[in-house]
Amino acid sequence: AQSVAQPEDQVNVAEGNPLTVKCTYSVSGNPYLFWYVQYPNRGLQFLLKYITGDNLVKGSYGFEAEFNKSQTSFHLKKPSALVSDSALYFCAVTPPEGSNYQLIWGAGTKLIIKP
């Protein structure tokens, strides 16, 4: 079965330190990969996506993600964390033959940035 795994329920990082939120997937073919962020009482916001091309994708708020086909991973990274980055982060995957609403979602990772 196709799936997305976010192995960490919560990640704690000190402000100013680099952060990584992990995502691995099990989807056939060459999928499209997404990261969304959810702030309290706000909707899911698109951060970045990988469709094809350069494996390093840059997105909103200084975030980036690296697509690794051999490891089937798409980890989210930021060089220097801000307290305002504290939120719930979701990785999602669409098989290329699928439509944009047929996303397979991870369970989410709560990111806590401590001052």
Partner 1 sequence: GAGVSQTPSNKVTEKGKYVELRCDPISGHTALYWYRQSLGQGPEFLIYFQGTGAADDSGLPNDRFFAVRPEGSVSTLKIQRTERGDSAVYLCASSLIAGTGANVLTFGAGSRLTVL
Question: Which of 10-18, 46-54, 65-73, 78-86 is the region at the interface with partner 1 (rule: CB under 8 A)?
Answer: 46-54
Q: Is 61 in the site for partner 1 (CB under 8 A)?
A: no
Contact status, residue 40 vs residue 107, Cβ threshold 8 Å: no
Of 10-18, 63-71, 73-81, 87-95, which segment contacts partner 1 by CB under 8 A? 87-95
Find the binder of partner 1 among 51, 56, 83, 112 (CB under 8 A). 51
59 binds partner 1 (CB under 8 A): no
Residues in Cβ contact with 20 at an 8 Å cutoff, skipping those fewer than 6 apart: 11, 75, 76, 77
Among 1, 53, 70, 100, binds partner 1 (CB under 8 A): 100
Residue closer to partner 1 by CB (options 14, 51) is 51
- Residue 98, class by beta-carbon neighbours within 10 Å (0-12 exposed, 13-18 middle, 19+ buried)? middle
**Residue of 57, 67, 74, 108 interacting with partner 1 (CB under 8 A):** 108
| Residues forming a β-bridge with 114 | 14
What are the angstrom distances between the C-alpha of 46 and each of 1, 70, 94, 100?
25, 25, 14, 13
- The DSSP 8-state label assigned to residue 18 in this structure reads -
Residues found near partner 1 in the complex (CB under 8 A): 4, 9, 31-32, 34, 36, 41-46, 49, 51, 90, 92, 94-103, 105-108
